[in-house]
Structure 1
Amino acid sequence: MKEPATPGFATDNMVKVTKSSEPASKHKPAETASGSTVGLTEKISSDPTSKPAKEIQQANDSEDPIMKATDVKIMAELAKEPMAETSKRILTESAREAGADVNESSTDTKPEDTTEPADAPTNDLNQKAMEEHAKSPMSGIEVRATEKSENDDQSETTVDSAAVLAEGNEKESSQENNLLQLEVIKKRLPLTDEQLAIINAFGHAMQPATEETAAEAARRLDALIPPLGEEEETGDWLYRAWDLMVDLVISPDSTSHVQERLMSVLENLQQMAKGTIMIDGEEMRVWKDLPVLNEALEPCFKDPTLSAQPNAFTPESVKTWLNVTAFAARLLGAYYCCYYEEAMWVMRWVLEEEPIATPGFGECRIQAACAWIAHGSRPLLQWALDKVGHADVPRRWDVTALKDRAVKIEVNRFPAGLLYNGPEIMCLQRWGFWIERFEELGNNGPYIGDDARKAALEAAESMRMLERRIGNTLSTQ
Structure 2
Amino acid sequence: MEFLQPLDSLEFPPIERAILNMLKGVFEYPAPLESRASKIASDILFCCTEKDSDTHVSFALLSTWDVLLELVSCVLPDHEWHQCLVQALALIREREGSANEEDPSYKWSDLPQLSIRVREHWELKPTEGDEAAPNRLENWKNVTAFISKLVSSGYTKLIYLAMWEIYDALESPPTKVKALINCRVWAVTEWILQCSQLLMKEMKSPKGQIEESEKASEVAGPLFGKDLPSRSLQRWDFWKKTSHRTFERV
TM normalised by structure 2 equals: 0.80
The residue type equivalent to 1:374 in the other structure is L
1:266 matched to 2:85: no
- Compute the displacement of 1:201 (Å): 4.2
Contact 1:384-1:428 within 8 A present in 2 as well = yes
Unaligned runs of 5+ residues in structure 1 are 1-177, 389-410, 449-477
Within 5 Å, give how 1:119-268 maps onto structure 2.
178=1, 182-188=4-10, 192=14, 195-197=17-19, 199-201=21-23, 203-205=25-27, 207-227=30-50, 233-251=56-74, 254-257=76-79, 258-268=81-91
Which segment is superposed worse, 316-325 or 413-422? 413-422
The residue type equivalent to 1:300 in the other structure is H
Larger gyration radius, structure 1 or structure 2: 1
1:300 matched to 2:121: yes
Distance in 2 between residues matched to 1:273 and 1:217, nearest whole Å: 18
- Compute the displacement of 1:205 (Å): 4.5
Against the structure 1 CA distance between its residues 224 and 276, is the aligned structure 2 distance closer, same or farther, given a 3 Å change threshold? closer
- Compute the displacement of 1:196 (Å): 2.3
Within 5 Å, give how 1:13-52 maps onto structure 2.
none
State the aligned residue count: 240
SS of equivalent residue, structure 2 residue 177: coil
1:332 matched to 2:151: yes
Task: Specify the alignment match of 2:241 in structure 1.
Answer: 436
Against the structure 1 CA distance between its residues 425 and 185, is the aligned structure 2 distance closer, same or farther, given a 3 Å change threshold? same
SS of equivalent residue, structure 2 residue 110: coil
More helix by share: 2
The residue type equivalent to 1:204 in the other structure is V
Against the structure 1 CA distance between its residues 385 and 284, is the aligned structure 2 distance closer, same or farther, given a 3 Å change threshold? same
- Compute the displacement of 1:314 (Å): 3.1
- Compute the displacement of 1:246 (Å): 1.1
Task: Specify the alignment match of 1:367 in structure 2.
Answer: 186
Distance in 2 between residues matched to 1:230 and 1:431, nearest whole Å: 49
Task: Specify the alignment match of 1:355 in structure 2.
Answer: 174
Distance in 1 between residues matched to 2:20 and 2:115, nearest whole Å: 18
Distance in 2 between residues matched to 1:191 and 1:418, nearest whole Å: 43
Distance in 2 between residues matched to 1:186 and 1:198, nearest whole Å: 10
Match of 1:314 among 109, 133, 144: 133
SS of equivalent residue, structure 1 residue 284: strand
Against the structure 1 CA distance between its residues 201 and 319, is the aligned structure 2 distance closer, same or farther, given a 3 Å change threshold? closer
SS of equivalent residue, structure 1 residue 369: helix
TM normalised by structure 1 equals: 0.44
The residue type equivalent to 2:14 in the other structure is T
